[in-house]
């Protein structure tokens, strides 16, 4: 399984578990928990969409799709959002330290911290592979399909 596929799976699982928690526990009342919940729903969804679109563009081997400004901008936005989610998840994990009884909080905290890390690696690696692909297929010397390396 590639890093991109693992990131997509982690994002879908985090989104689903957060949704189940909202359905069972209700919407949080405190502002910090509400913001964290919105981040836990929006960022995995954005990351999964960006990763799936990037994989589809690479599978189609279209150089214009992998290096287009729209995909580059959404990828950069997803990276920033994942950094924010990682910071918020780490902060909330530290603030919540005397964890409540039960064994479900620790796996969720690991998932909440691990998903943005895996997503960041996949997004950053995907951006580099897209740039390499663009260099091989059409972004080289004078735009004539020549690679920049001899």
Give per-residue pLDDT as tens, 61-120.
555 445 567 778 889 999 999 999 999 999 988 887 777 777 677 888 899 999 999 999
Identify whether 150 is part of a domain: no
Find the domain containing 12 and state its range. Answer: 3-136
Residue 146, φ and ψ in degrees, nearest 5 = -85, 140
pLDDT tier at 56, thresholds 50, 70, 90: confident
The confidence score (pLDDT) of residue 95 equals 84
Identify whether 106 is part of a domain: yes
Identify whether 53 is part of a domain: yes
Average pLDDT, the chain: 81
Identify whether 148 is part of a domain: no
Q: What would the mean pLDDT of 116-145 be, rounded to a whole number?
A: 67
Burial classification of residue 116, based on how many CB atoms lie within 10 Å of its CB (0-12 exposed, 13-18 middle, 19 or more buried): buried
Counting residues of the chain whose pLDDT is more than 70, the rounded percentage is 75
Identify whether 68 is part of a domain: yes
Identify whether 64 is part of a domain: yes
Q: Say whether pLDDT at 150 is over 50.
A: no
Identify whether 118 is part of a domain: yes
Reported in sequence order, the residue ranges of the chain that DSSP labels E, i.e. its strands, are none
Number of domains comprising the chain: 1
**Cβ atoms within 10 Å, residue 54:** 23
């Amino acid at each position: 399984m590639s890093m991109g596929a693992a990131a997509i799976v982690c994002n879908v699982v985090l989104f689903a578990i957060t949704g189940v928690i909202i359905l069972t526990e209700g919407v949080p009342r405190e502002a910090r928990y509400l913001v964290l919940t919105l981040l836990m729903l929006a960022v995995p969804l954005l990351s999964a969409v960006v990763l799936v679109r990037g994989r589809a563009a690479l599978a189609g081997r279209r150089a214009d799709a992998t290096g287009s400004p729209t995909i580059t901008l959404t990828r950069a936005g997803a990276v920033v959002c994942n950094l924010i989610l990682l910071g918020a998840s780490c902060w909330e994990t530290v603030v919540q330290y005397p964890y409540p009884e039960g064994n479900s909080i620790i796996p969720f905290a690991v998932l909440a911290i691990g998903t943005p890390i895996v997503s960041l690696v996949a997004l950053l690696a995907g951006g580099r592979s897209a740039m390499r692909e663009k260099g091989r297929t059409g972004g080289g010397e004078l735009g004539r399909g020549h690679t920049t390396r001899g």
